[in-house]
Chains A and B, each alone.
Chain A
């Protein structure tokens, strides 16, 4: 049976959560503020005291659920109200459905599942809603009713598991370059094209290329909200998860590394190609990119997810919880598309024709 972690306020005993604005733990009941590290220390001491009690609870729950029922699910008991929570195995942090206390499912982040780093949320739910509103602004072909009728089903602040790959690349490149010279005599224009073979070899380091380790999150969406700023990255502490949802990875690093390699390779070729100057054209002929000193870290990165429904269609939006970059594909109004097309076609065509006709009339 998995255990459940909940940070208690040392002042009043209420469940505290991480506040993205103050970057501190804040108790919603008595407004007391705590540093994440300090609170953890006090919590560990409290836990020692609570230990005998918790053993009793575990025995109870063990008898009540059979393993068949819990296929891929785990059952927890809320420390605040005693209600039972059922959560997916990969869930790391959630809220109690009865008392809404933020709870962290310890087992998801223990042992080798423990993340190395976390970037705490910097933007709150209000910012996400606002960003959604701005995202819909100025989109000329968005159906007019989408803004009003689009129903937000769910907004959740989610710590998404990411693998961060770092590597030194040792690469060799052959480029083909051309230089062009032009001159003329009385009768002819001449064009001379000189061809060159360009060789480059060297090293280039990449750090923390993120690949999302969650099956639930579409990879293209997670790449679209990049980049994250690693300056704010903290050593992992479950305290940051309090008040948000968190998943542990369900795509391991071996399956993720291919994507990172691809991106690093493309950028390595680009970077070396940029060292070639003074040519009219440069094309890549062949490249060989080797990876050295590979390392991989496990980090939780903050993402706001907004699920909406419009005309029975589901739309998913995501916002970078640190930088506020908002993405999500929107539906197109085909009628508006043709209206704009025909409108511009007709007005430019007729407008120019009239101007030309006027010039001709006045000029002749």
Chain B
């Protein structure tokens, strides 16, 4: 009796604990058990693979956003874009209904890299963002430091996710700077500010000099009140001016022209046209963003 009760009790407890697992429908849509590092070209050691895998898991949990790295020796006649899109779609990657996520494909056949985005990933990775990410990790790929290259990719992805979360994904108007670039930019700005400050201080003293000069000259002129009169306008008899002849003859004219300066603000139209993410439709019918290059 007692043991039956115990079993029942344990069973009820178990039932109470079960629902969160069995009822988690959205979790079923997001299969986190699949490998996120698919090293078909065997570019990574096992430990590197594990390290990357765990880093990706952390990011996936933190941002509810899928991240996949795929390396391949050949891509079977497909373009890198098609291969990456299809791999993402048919292997069932992606978080949530929109299957948010990003996939980085490295194809060794023609040394291509491609970033494919879907759902929220299209927002996170703008065209600019993809190019910028490429700039950052391509040099590592070129020198066969694949693990470091992928780590850079993960770092950039995390930064992009953070920015997108704040509603300001990196784009042409909101450029992404790596730590070194940011430092350089900070130093440049500091130098520029310093120069401007010095310029302003020198300008202040020039203004001071002019103000002082004008003031003392005015003061000096107060002391002088004796001077000859230039004319005799005081003694003109009012209304006695009698014009007997007057005419005005046009002689000649000349025209000079100067090239107008290009106004820098006029370019606003073109910059507003740029930016954002361009999309295409994959073979599965899903909308993808993406971009890539050679390494």
Q: Point out residues on A near B: beta carbons under 8 Å.
A: 135, 138-142, 177, 184, 186-209, 218-221, 223-224, 226-227, 260, 263-264, 266-267, 270-272, 275-276, 326-332, 337, 340-353, 356-357, 360, 364
For residue B45, CB closer than 8 A to chain A, the reply is no
Q: List 5 A-B contacts (CB under 8 A).
A: A195-B250, A200-B245, A203-B240, A206-B236, A208-B235
For residue B237, CB closer than 8 A to chain A, the reply is yes
Inter-chain contact A192/B255, CB cutoff 8 Å: yes
Q: Given A140-B222, A190-B257, A193-B253 in contact, is the A266-B232 Cβ separation under 8 Å?
A: yes
The docked-state distance in angstroms from the alpha carbon of A136 to that of B215 is 18
Residues of A within 8 A of B251 (CB): 195-197
Inter-chain contact B213/A341, CB cutoff 8 Å: yes
Q: Given A187-B260, A208-B235, A356-B200 in contact, is the A141-B223 Cβ separation under 8 Å?
A: yes
Residues of A within 8 A of B243 (CB): 200-202, 275
Instruction: Determine which of B203, B227, B237, B258 lies in contact with A206 in the assembled complex, contact meaning CB atoms within 8 Å.
Output: B237
The docked-state distance in angstroms from the alpha carbon of A260 to that of B237 is 15
Question: Could you tell me the dominant secondary structure of chain B's interface residues?
Answer: mixed
Question: Could you tell me the dominant secondary structure of chain A's interface residues?
Answer: mixed
The docked-state distance in angstroms from the alpha carbon of A219 to that of B227 is 9
Residues of A within 8 A of B211 (CB): 344-345, 348
- CB within 8 Å of A: which of B211-254? 211-213, 215-216, 219-220, 222-237, 240-254
CB-based nearest A residue for B225: A327
Q: Given A271-B233, A349-B207 in contact, is the A197-B225 Cβ separation under 8 Å?
A: no
Residues of B within 8 A of A357 (CB): 197, 201
Q: Given A202-B245, A227-B234, A270-B231 in contact, is the A328-B225 Cβ separation under 8 Å?
A: yes
Q: Given A203-B240, A224-B225, A329-B225 in contact, is the A341-B216 Cβ separation under 8 Å?
A: yes
Q: Closest approach, in angstroms, between the C-beta of A329 and any C-beta of chain B? A: 5
Residues of B within 8 A of A331 (CB): 223
Instruction: Determine which of B223, B232, B258 lies in contact with A139 in the assembled complex, contact meaning CB atoms within 8 Å.
Output: B223
User: A192-B254, A220-B228, A348-B211 given. 20 additional CB < 8 A pairs?
Assistant: A141-B219, A142-B223, A189-B260, A190-B257, A195-B252, A198-B247, A198-B248, A199-B246, A200-B246, A204-B240, A204-B242, A264-B231, A267-B235, A271-B241, A328-B225, A345-B212, A346-B208, A347-B208, A349-B208, A350-B208
Q: Given A267-B233, A271-B233, A271-B241 in contact, is the A342-B226 Cβ separation under 8 Å?
A: no
CB-based nearest B residue for A221: B226
CB-based nearest A residue for B258: A189
Instruction: Determine which of A189, A195, A271, A329 lies in contact with B223 in the assembled complex, contact meaning CB atoms within 8 Å.
Output: A329
Instruction: Determine which of A199, A340, A350 lies in contact with B212 in the assembled complex, contact meaning CB atoms within 8 Å.
Output: A340
For residue B54, CB closer than 8 A to chain A, the reply is no
A-B pairs under 8 A by CB, number: 210
The docked-state distance in angstroms from the alpha carbon of A196 to that of B233 is 27
Inter-chain contact B242/A345, CB cutoff 8 Å: no
Instruction: Determine which of A191, A196, A227 lies in contact with B255 in the assembled complex, contact meaning CB atoms within 8 Å.
Output: A191
For residue B259, CB closer than 8 A to chain A, the reply is yes
The docked-state distance in angstroms from the alpha carbon of A264 to that of B240 is 14
The docked-state distance in angstroms from the alpha carbon of A117 to that of B286 is 112
Inter-chain contact A188/B257, CB cutoff 8 Å: yes
Residues of B within 8 A of A345 (CB): 205, 208-209, 211-212
Residues of A within 8 A of B203 (CB): 352
Residues of B within 8 A of A349 (CB): 204-205, 207-209
Q: Point out residues on B near A: beta carbons under 8 Å.
A: 193, 197, 200-201, 203-205, 207-209, 211-213, 215-216, 219-220, 222-237, 240-260
Instruction: Determine which of A177, A194, A271 lies in contact with B236 in the assembled complex, contact meaning CB atoms within 8 Å.
Output: A271
Q: Given A189-B257, A197-B251 in contact, is the A209-B245 Cβ separation under 8 Å?
A: no
Inter-chain contact B223/A190, CB cutoff 8 Å: no
Inter-chain contact B225/A199, CB cutoff 8 Å: no
Inter-chain contact A196/B249, CB cutoff 8 Å: yes
CB-based nearest A residue for B203: A352
The docked-state distance in angstroms from the alpha carbon of A263 to that of B232 is 5
Inter-chain contact A197/B249, CB cutoff 8 Å: yes
Inter-chain contact B240/A194, CB cutoff 8 Å: no
Inter-chain contact A220/B226, CB cutoff 8 Å: yes
The docked-state distance in angstroms from the alpha carbon of A139 to that of B246 is 48
Residues of A within 8 A of B216 (CB): 141, 337, 340-341, 344
Residues of B within 8 A of A208 (CB): 235
CB-based nearest B residue for A138: B222
Q: Given A204-B240, A220-B227, A227-B234 in contact, is the A275-B246 Cβ separation under 8 Å?
A: yes
Inter-chain contact B255/A226, CB cutoff 8 Å: no
Q: Closest approach, in angstroms, between the C-beta of B267 and any C-beta of chain A? A: 16
Inter-chain contact A348/B208, CB cutoff 8 Å: yes
Inter-chain contact B215/A209, CB cutoff 8 Å: no
The docked-state distance in angstroms from the alpha carbon of A271 to that of B246 is 14
Residues of B within 8 A of A193 (CB): 253-256
Residues of A within 8 A of B241 (CB): 202-204, 271-272, 275
Residues of A within 8 A of B205 (CB): 345, 349, 353
Q: Closest approach, in angstroms, between the C-beta of B213 and any C-beta of chain A? A: 7
Q: Closest approach, in angstroms, between the C-beta of B244 and any C-beta of chain A? A: 5
Inter-chain contact B229/A223, CB cutoff 8 Å: yes
Residues of A within 8 A of B248 (CB): 177, 196-199, 276
Inter-chain contact B255/A352, CB cutoff 8 Å: no
Instruction: Determine which of B215, B232, B234, B250 lies in contact with A194 in the assembled complex, contact meaning CB atoms within 8 Å.
Output: B250
Residues of A within 8 A of B220 (CB): 141, 332, 337
The docked-state distance in angstroms from the alpha carbon of A350 to that of B246 is 58
Residues of A within 8 A of B229 (CB): 223-224, 226, 263
CB-based nearest B residue for A318: B226
Q: Closest approach, in angstroms, between the C-beta of A8 and any C-beta of chain B? A: 39
The docked-state distance in angstroms from the alpha carbon of A198 to that of B247 is 6
Which of A188, A226, A276, A352 has the most B CB atoms < 10 Å from its CB? A352
Instruction: Determine which of B207, B225, B242, B250 lies in contact with A348 in the assembled complex, contact meaning CB atoms within 8 Å.
Output: B207
Inter-chain contact B225/A352, CB cutoff 8 Å: no
Residues of A within 8 A of B242 (CB): 202-204
Which of B219, B232, B246, B255 has the most A CB atoms < 10 Å from its CB? B232
